[in-house]
Amino acid sequence: MGVDGLGHAPLRQPGADVIELQELKLHQLCSLAVTLPAEERDVAEALTGEKFEHQRAAASLHLAPGMHFAVVDSTGWAVAAGGFLPQGNGVFRTWFMAPESTWDAHGRELTRLVRELIRKMLEDGVARRIETITLADRTRARDWYTKIGLSFESTMRQYGAQGQDAVMYVAVKDV
């Protein structure tokens, strides 16, 4: 599923660069994976049990089914990427990657864009449940999840590869 048809106009904060969604290309994902903060690589390793290798991670996400998107600035440079991986029966699991500099330059716009994507997927019936998983000690990520419309659902004890607790945040379609 591509990003076409989701009806997203570029977002602009006063004094900020424009960001918008585009179809994700493998080279964009590779360049973002290389710049992924160490903390994010550590989370990927904890949740998968495998050493993070940027090329493998990029290829795996790019080839995975679902909707994937690049967030590009006004120069066409990919500043972030994300997607929704189908888990079956209208359930999607999110993924997102962005270097730290992107959060400094585009944090508010990214938050609004992702919140709108989630809302639209639920509203349009593309999804009935959208979920994300992270390690329980990642308070900054957990705070962001509430800003994009997800709610804390559960703690999954001993979920990580080294026995770390993880948490799940979800948004569900109102019935």
pLDDT along the chain (175 residues), means of 10: 43 58 94 92 93 94 94 92 96 95 92 95 96 96 97 98 97 87
pLDDT on residue 17: 64
**Any idea which fold 19-172 has?**
Aminopeptidase (3.40.630)
Chain centre to alpha carbon of residue 142: 13
pLDDT on residue 18: 76
Instruction: Report the side by side order of strands in the sheet with 67-73.
Output: 19-23, 67-73, 78-88, 91-97, 129-135, 166-172, 151-156
Helices (H), the chain: 26-34, 38-48, 54-63, 100-123, 139-147
Backbone dihedral region of 28: left (phi > 0), alpha (psi from -120 to 50 degrees) or beta? alpha
